[in-house]
């Protein structure tokens, strides 16, 4: 898989990780009257972005804007470093995310708690961004990038309260961030299987709110979904239905099981068996590497389910 790929409509997909290990994370460059990058990834992804710009002979100084769907470090951790290269760009972000990009101290401390000694490998450095270079985007606010072409920013909490999805009026595609989950594009490329799992990671997973956000995306009648994790799909309606179904599964069925048994091990086995059995029936072999990745994503979602339950119990 190449480091940069043309998806049509002036949109290029850029690997946000080492492009020798594809299907991890991706950002998007839209070239129009204005050039805009959507998602930066962590600092470790910035060389990949700069390499991609060099391939298409686009000077970083000609990037007009950088948008991040939310401020989790795998989506926006490299924004400060990239802004140093893109000297004329403004950073577009949710209002609840701005202060953490100006002063990323809490983001760094939180990530270090999760990643420990691996923080430096994945995320360092996380640089502050001057407040005057940040533009807060409100719900349904439009950002014009060309004649008859706008990006509409949609408030989409559920995964994070500082989350914006971005609708492109020309491609009729939504840049989903984590609002619509993880799309396992390798399963589609290898087996023709359209498979998606919501991102129920802690600390802000709220299944009912996530479902309302998914409905908002469906109301846009998108023809394409541009996932950060990972890639573009032209099966938007089907995948959004799948996202709602699995959000209900995680937020109701799995929550009820955990409340009854209080066992993360049993919950892991239940989710793993439910998802894997469906994939086996569709022809995925038991040794397929996608299943190992899926197991790790299930473990992260379980942490989010437990945090959600504990928060509800504390508030009741």
pLDDT in tens, 263-290: 999 999 999 999 999 999 999 999 999 9
pLDDT value of residue 151: 98
pLDDT value of position 23: 73
Please report the pLDDT score of residue 171 as a whole number. Answer: 98
Residue 16 pLDDT > 80, yes or no?
yes
The yes-or-no verdict on residue 2 having pLDDT over 80 is no
In the chain, which residues fall in CATH 3.60.15.10? 4-178+199-236
Higher-pLDDT residue of 221, 15 = 221
Q: Is 42 within 8 Å of 74 (Cβ atoms)?
A: yes
Q: What is the mean pLDDT of the chain?
A: 94
pLDDT for 257: 95
Taking only the tens place, the pLDDT of each residue in 111-151 is: 887 778 888 888 889 999 999 999 999 999 999 999 999 99
DSSP-based three-state secondary structure for 249: helix
Q: What is the pLDDT of residue 308?
A: 95
Average pLDDT over residues 291-315: 94
- Position 119 scores a pLDDT of 85
4-178+199-236: what fold?
Metallo-beta-lactamase; Chain A (3.60.15)
> What single string gives the DSSP state of each residue in 90-140?
EEEE-TTTHHHHHSTHHHHHHHHHHHGGGHHHHT-------GGGEEE--TT
Euclidean distance between CA atoms 274 and 251, whole angstroms: 15
Please state, in angstroms and rounded to a whole number, the distance separating the CA atoms of residues 52 and 176: 22
Q: What is the dihedral of CA 235, 237, 238, 239, to 10 degrees?
A: 80
Are the beta carbons of 230 and 182 closer than 8 angstroms? Answer: yes
The confidence score (pLDDT) of residue 117 equals 83
- Report how far residue 150's alpha carbon sits from residue 142's, in angstroms, rounded to the nearest whole number: 6
From 1-10, 86-95, 203-212, 261-270, the region with the lowest mean pLDDT: 1-10
pTM value is 0.96
Please tell me the distance from the alpha carbon of residue 218 to that of residue 228, in angstroms, as a whole number. 18
Integer Cα distance of 71 and 137 in angstroms: 13
Q: What percent of the chain has pLDDT over 90?
A: 87
Per-residue pLDDT averaged across 81-90, rounded?
97
pLDDT digits (tens, 9 = 90+) for 17-47: 755 566 789 999 999 999 999 999 999 999 9
The pLDDT of residue 14 is 96
Q: What percent of the chain has pLDDT over 70?
A: 98
């Amino acid at each position: 898989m190449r480091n940069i790929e043309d998806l049509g409509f002036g949109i290029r997909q850029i690997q946000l990780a080492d492009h020798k290990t594809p299907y991890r994370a991706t950002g998007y460059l839209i070239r129009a009257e204005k050039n805009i990058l959507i998602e930066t990834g962590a600092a470790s992804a910035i060389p990949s972005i700069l390499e991609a710009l060099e391939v298409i002979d686009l000077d970083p100084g000609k990037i007009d804007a950088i948008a991040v769907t939310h401020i989790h470090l795998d989506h926006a951790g490299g924004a400060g470093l990239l802004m140093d290269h893109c000297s004329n760009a403004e950073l577009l972000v949710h209002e609840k995310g701005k202060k953490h990009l100006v002063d990323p101290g809490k983001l760094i401390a939180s990530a270090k708690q999760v990643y420990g000694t691996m923080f430096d490998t994945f995320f360092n450095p996380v640089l502050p961004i001057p407040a005057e270079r940040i533009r807060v985007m409100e719900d349904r606010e439009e950002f014009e990038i060309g004649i008859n072409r706008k990006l509409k920013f949609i408030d989409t909490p559920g995964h994070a309260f500082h989350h914006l999805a971005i609708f492109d009026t020309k491609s009729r595609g939504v840049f989903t961030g984590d609002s619509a989950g993880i799309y396992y594009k390798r399963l589609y490329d290898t087996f023709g299987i359209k498979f998606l799992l919501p991102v129920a990671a802690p600390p802000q997973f709220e299944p009912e709110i996530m479902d309302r956000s998914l409905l908002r995306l469906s109301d846009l009648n998108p023809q394409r979904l541009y996932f950060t994790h990972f890639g573009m799909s032209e099966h938007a309606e089907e995948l959004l239905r799948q996202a709602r179904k699995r959000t209900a599964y995680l937020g109701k069925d799995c929550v009820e099981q955990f409340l009854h048994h209080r066992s993360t091990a049993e919950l892991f086995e239940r989710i793993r068996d439910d998802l894997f059995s469906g994939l086996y029936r569709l022809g995925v072999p038991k040794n397929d590497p996608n299943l190992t990745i899926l197991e790790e994503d299930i473990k992260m979602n379980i942490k989010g389910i437990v945090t959600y339950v504990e928060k509800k119990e504390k508030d009741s």
